[in-house]
Amino acid sequence: MNHRTTTPAAAAPFDVAHVPPADRLTTAVRTDRMRHPGFGRVLTEHMVTIRWTEDAGWHEARLRPYQALEFDPATVGIHYGQIVFEGLKAYSLADGRVGIFRPDAAARRLQRSATRLAMPEMPTALFTSAVTELVRADRAWVPAEVGKSLYLRPVLMATEADLDLRPAREYLFLLIAFVTDNFFPGELRPRTVWVCEDHVRAAPGGTGEAKTPGNYAASLLAQEQARERGCDQVVWLDAVERRWVEEMGGMNLFFAVGPEEAPRLLTPPLRGTILPRVTRDSLITIASDLGWSTSEEPISVEQWRRWADGGSLREVFACGTAAVVTPVGTVRSAAGDWTVNGGRAGPLAARLRTALLDVQHGLVPDRHGWMVPVG
Ligand code: COI
């Protein structure tokens, strides 16, 4: 084992143990695995763990070989779901370096999610050190091609083994990474969506704006029902009136109206039930940079249909770290079906997707300071 200790910007130093050279995958095996990675299958060779206890705070920061972990059967996270997670990506840059996209934004959202689930907040500097250490160790797993990336998955879970129902007093931060190209095969192929009225993703006062596994587990049944109806994804409506569009699967939604050369981009406002995705925020900024007008305003299903039927709706697309930008072509609902842009992908989603990927791969100046290069 190759042990060394580095000092991250935050409190705890990292104890570093690399996979010994003799146990590393060969370049040929790694290259083969990275060819068609899909999403979430091609895991890298290292991981990070950091512990938190009431007495010691954040400690035992370790970069170590990827390995299975053991948990006490009475672990709080497993029983009561006191778990939050994140998703962010590292990209190869045009200058040969690797850059991580907006780790500070992911750190802040993890802190907000943790607060909502009565968990300790990890300092931004420690979070950034963790992702930087992992990307550095698994540098060889960052794909060179535009459109492929290294997806980083931080998780914070309650690890205390005591099933009294109260916030745990021990936590584990866990960070793994996998190579990805597409969350959806055929990325810009328009999707068919099912407007779900039977189930809701989040209710006012609930955990909708936190990135916590329960929100995803609760979405799976509706997602399956959407599939049974021949749809790719489910569109969530608000819990109170079942009328206002909130999200699509695990993605935020955008609606483009107006002329192609000066479109208006609309997205539902963040009022506690929608996950504030970093991609959503980045696309709003990029659209403004392009001179498009943007607005966060409630959009009803009836409005969506009226716009589509009246011809004023140019495009609808979803976005997220995993999916990047994905057009919606056909909408199915209990009240009937309609299409967006005749069911075809349009130029606006493609333009935003390219503009975002250009920044992420260092092909254009990073005017907002979003990329954190890894030395
Ligand atoms: C992401 O977009 O990164 C997400 O976390 C959604 C994922 C669960 C597929």
The model's pLDDT over 115-137, given as tens digits with 9 standing for 90+, comes to 999 999 999 999 999 999 999 99
The model's pLDDT over 143-158, given as tens digits with 9 standing for 90+, comes to 999 989 999 999 999 9
Same domain, 345 and 278: yes
pLDDT at 208 over 70: yes
Q: Identify the three-state secondary structure at position 109.
A: helix
Q: How far is the CA of 267 from the centre of ligand 1 (A)?
A: 18
Identify the domain boundary among 149, 180, 211.
180
Q: Which residue has the tokens 């006191």?
A: 82
Pocket of ligand 1 (CB under 6 A): 87, 183, 216, 250, 320-322
Sequence-ordered list of residues with C-beta below 8 angstroms from that of 351, at least 6 positions apart, any chain: 290
pLDDT at 184: 79
Which band of pLDDT confidence, cut at 50, 70 and 90, is reported for residue 188?
confident
Confirm whether 367 is domain-assigned: no
Confirm whether 230 is domain-assigned: yes
Task: Supply the mean pLDDT for the chain.
Answer: 94
pLDDT at 1 over 90: no
Q: How many domains, the chain?
A: 2
Same domain, 237 and 307: yes
Q: How far apart are CA 252 and CA 265, in angstroms?
A: 13
Q: How far apart are CA 239 and CA 223, in angstroms?
A: 17
Q: Identify the three-state secondary structure at position 62.
A: strand
Same domain, 21 and 53: yes
Could you tell me the CATH number of the domain that includes residue 131? 3.30.470.10
Range of the domain at 40: 9-180
Confirm whether 375 is domain-assigned: no
Q: How far is the CA of 321 from the centre of ligand 1 (A)?
A: 6
Same domain, 90 and 16: yes
Same domain, 154 and 202: no
H/E stretch holding 4: strand 2-6
Task: Note whether 114 and 212 are within 8 A (CB).
Answer: no
Same domain, 16 and 128: yes
- Pairing assessment for the beta strands 149-158 and 170-180 based on DSSP bridges: antiparallel
Instruction: Report the nearest atom of ligand 1 relative to the CA of 87.
Output: 3
Q: What percent of the chain has pLDDT over 70?
A: 96
Q: How far apart are CA 354 and CA 188, in angstroms?
A: 11
Same domain, 341 and 206: yes
Confirm whether 53 is domain-assigned: yes
Q: How far is the CA of 125 from the centre of ligand 1 (A)?
A: 23
Nearest Cα to Cα of residue 101 among 122, 121, 87, 85: 87
Confirm whether 100 is domain-assigned: yes
Instruction: Report the nearest atom of ligand 1 relative to the CA of 211.
Output: 5
Q: Whose CA is nearest to atom 6 of ligand 1?
A: 250
For a pocket test of ligand 1, which of 86, 321, 325, 360 has the largest count of ligand atoms closer than 8 A to its C-beta? 321
Identify the domain boundary among 180, 201, 221.
180
Which band of pLDDT confidence, cut at 50, 70 and 90, is reported for residue 195?
very high
Burial of 121 (0-12, 13-18, 19+ CB in 10 A): middle
The model's pLDDT over 355-374, given as tens digits with 9 standing for 90+, comes to 999 999 999 999 999 999 99
Q: What percent of the chain has pLDDT over 90?
A: 92
Q: Maximum Cα–Cα distance for the chain, whole Å?
A: 66
For a pocket test of ligand 1, which of 110, 153, 183 has the largest count of ligand atoms closer than 8 A to its C-beta? 183
pLDDT at 4 over 70: no
Same domain, 212 and 328: yes
Q: Identify the three-state secondary structure at position 110.
A: helix
Confirm whether 373 is domain-assigned: no
Identify the domain boundary among 180, 204, 220.
180
Nearest Cα to Cα of residue 310 among 255, 257, 247: 257
Same domain, 211 and 106: no
Q: How far apart are CA 367 and CA 371, in angstroms?
A: 10
pLDDT at 215 over 70: yes
Task: Note whether 245 and 253 are within 8 A (CB).
Answer: yes
Same domain, 176 and 196: no
Could you tell me the CATH number of the domain that includes residue 355? 3.20.10.10
The model's pLDDT over 51-99, given as tens digits with 9 standing for 90+, comes to 999 999 999 999 999 999 999 999 999 999 999 999 999 999 999 999 9
The model's pLDDT over 256-314, given as tens digits with 9 standing for 90+, comes to 999 888 899 999 999 999 999 999 999 999 999 999 999 999 999 999 999 999 999 99
Same domain, 104 and 149: yes
Q: How far apart are CA 372 and CA 139, in angstroms?
A: 14
Confirm whether 3 is domain-assigned: no
Confirm whether 288 is domain-assigned: yes
pLDDT at 261: 86
Same domain, 175 and 205: no
